[in-house]
Structure 1
Amino acid sequence: MSLRTPRGPVVLTAVAASALAAGLLAVPSSASAAEVRIHDIQGGTRISPLAGQQVDDVPGTVTAIRAFGSSRGFWIQDTRPDKDAATSEAIFVFTGSTAPSVTVGDSVLVSGTVSEYYPGGKDAGGQSLTELSKATWTVQSSGNALPAAYRLNPSTIPDRYTPDAGGDSIEGLTLRPRSYALDRYESLEGMRVSVENAPVVGATNTYKELWVTAEPRHQRTARGGALYSSYRDPNAGRVKVVSLLPYAQHPFPVADVGDALTGTTAGPMDYDDFGGYTIAATAMGEPADHGPRRETTRKQKANELSIATYNVENLSPKTAQSKFDRLATGLVEHLASPDIVALEEVQDDNGATNDSVVSADATLKKLTDTIKAAGGPAYEWRQINPVDDQDGGEPGGNIRVAFLYDPERVSFTDIPGGDSTTPVKVGKKDGKATLSASPGRIDPANGVWKDSRKPLVGQFSFRGRPVFVVANHFNSKGGDQGLDSRFQPPARSSETQRTGQATAVNTFVKALLNADPKASVVVAGDLNDYQFSPALADLTKGGVLTDLVTRLPKDERYGYVYNGNSQVLDHILTSRALRRADYDIVHINAEFSDQSSDHDPQVVRVRP
Structure 2
Amino acid sequence: MGAAAATALAAGLLAAPQPAAAAQPRIHDIQGSTRLSPFDGERVTEVPGVVTAVRAFGSSRGFWLQDPTGDGDPRTSEGIFVFTGSRTPAVTVGDALRLTGTVGEYYPGGTAAGLQSVTQISGASWTVESSGNPLPAAFRLDAASLPNRYAPEPPGGGSIEELPLRPHSYALDRLESLEGMRVQVSDARVVGPSTSYNELWVTADPRENPTPRGGTLYASYRDQNGARIKVASLIPFAERPFPQADVGDRLTGTTAGPLDYDQFGGYEVQATELGTLDERGPGRERTRAQRADELAVATFNVENLSPADGDAKFARLAEILVDHLASPDIVALEEVQDDTGPVNDGVVSAGETLRKLTGAVAAAGGPSYAWRQIDPADGRDGGQPGGNIRVAFLYNPERVSFPDAPGGDAVTAAVPVRDAAGRAGLSVNPGRVSPLDPAWENSRKPLAAEFRFRGKPVFVVANHFASKGGDQALDGRFQPPARSSEVQRLAQAKTLGTWVKSLLELDRKAKVVVAGDLNDFGFSPALAALTDHGRTLTDLVELLPRGERYGYVHNGNSQVLDHILTSRGVGPADYDIVHVNAEFADQVSDHDPQVVRFRP
Match of 1:146 in 2: 135
Give 1:413 shift.
1.4
Match of 2:387 in 1: 397
Give 1:581 shift.
0.9
Q: Distance in 1 between matches of 2:76 and 2:199?
A: 28
SS at match of 1:130: strand
Q: Distance in 1 between matches of 2:231 and 2:258?
A: 10
Match of 2:304 in 1: 314
Give the letter aligned to residue 492 of structure 1. Answer: R
- The CA deviation string for residues 517-557 of structure 1, in whole angstroms up to 9 with x for no partner, is 00000000000000000110111016110000000011111
Aligned residues: 579
Q: Distance in 2 between matches of 1:584 and 1:254?
A: 27
Match of 2:536 in 1: 544
Q: Distance in 1 between matches of 2:521 and 2:593?
A: 16
Which runs of no fewer than 5 residues in structure 1 stay unpaired?
1-27
Match of 1:134 in 2: 123
Instruction: Say if 2:20 and 2:45, in contact at 8 Å, map to a contact too.
Output: no
State yes or no: 1:80 paired with 2:69: yes
Instruction: Say if 1:413 and 1:458, in contact at 8 Å, map to a contact too.
Output: no
Instruction: Say if 2:23 and 2:43, in contact at 8 Å, map to a contact too.
Output: no
State yes or no: 1:65 paired with 2:65: no
Match of 1:574 in 2: 566
Q: Distance in 2 between matches of 1:225 and 1:456?
A: 33
TM-score norm. by structure 1 comes to 0.94
Give 1:40 shift.
0.4
Candidates 442, 446, 464, aligned match of 2:433: 442
Instruction: Say if 1:391 and 1:450, in contact at 8 Å, map to a contact too.
Output: yes
Q: Distance in 2 between matches of 1:207 and 1:378?
A: 37
Give the letter aligned to residue 372 of structure 2. Answer: R
Match of 2:175 in 1: 185
Instruction: Say if 2:509 and 2:568, in contact at 8 Å, map to a contact too.
Output: yes
State yes or no: 1:273 paired with 2:278: no
Candidates 244, 248, 252, aligned match of 1:258: 248
Candidates 578, 581, 588, aligned match of 2:580: 588
SS at match of 2:502: helix
Instruction: Say if 1:59 and 1:108, in contact at 8 Å, map to a contact too.
Output: yes
State yes or no: 1:239 paired with 2:233: no
State yes or no: 1:108 paired with 2:100: no
Give 1:426 shift.
1.0
Instruction: Say if 1:29 and 1:53, in contact at 8 Å, map to a contact too.
Output: no
Q: Distance in 1 between matches of 2:168 and 2:403?
A: 62
Q: Distance in 2 between matches of 1:452 and 1:595?
A: 25
SS at match of 1:415: coil
Candidates 470, 484, 488, aligned match of 2:475: 484
- The CA deviation string for residues 62-94 of structure 1, in whole angstroms up to 9 with x for no partner, is 000000000100001001111211000010010
Q: Distance in 2 between matches of 1:407 and 1:94?
A: 62
State yes or no: 1:604 paired with 2:593: no
Match of 1:22 in 2: none
Match of 1:501 in 2: 492
Q: Distance in 2 between matches of 1:143 and 1:356?
A: 62
- The CA deviation string for residues 410-441 of structure 1, in whole angstroms up to 9 with x for no partner, is 10110111110011111123342111000000
Which runs of no fewer than 5 residues in structure 2 stay unpaired?
1-18
Match of 1:225 in 2: 215
SS at match of 2:319: helix
Q: Distance in 2 between matches of 1:479 and 1:510?
A: 31
Match of 1:50 in 2: 39
Match of 2:190 in 1: 200
Q: Distance in 1 between matches of 2:223 and 2:331?
A: 33
Q: Distance in 1 between matches of 2:346 and 2:192?
A: 38
SS at match of 1:412: coil
State yes or no: 1:556 paired with 2:545: no
Moved beyond 2 Å, runs of 4+: 28-33, 429-432
SS at match of 1:584: strand
Q: Distance in 1 between matches of 2:137 and 2:161?
A: 28
Match of 1:474 in 2: 465
Q: Distance in 2 between matches of 1:223 and 1:520?
A: 33
SS at match of 1:31: coil
SS at match of 1:278: strand
Q: Distance in 2 between matches of 1:289 and 1:367?
A: 32
Candidates 503, 508, 517, aligned match of 1:517: 508
Instruction: Say if 1:431 and 1:516, in contact at 8 Å, map to a contact too.
Output: no
Give the letter aligned to residue 538 of structure 2. Answer: T
Instruction: Say if 2:67 and 2:78, in contact at 8 Å, map to a contact too.
Output: yes
Q: Distance in 2 between matches of 1:187 and 1:431?
A: 68
Give 1:29 shift.
8.6
Match of 1:24 in 2: none
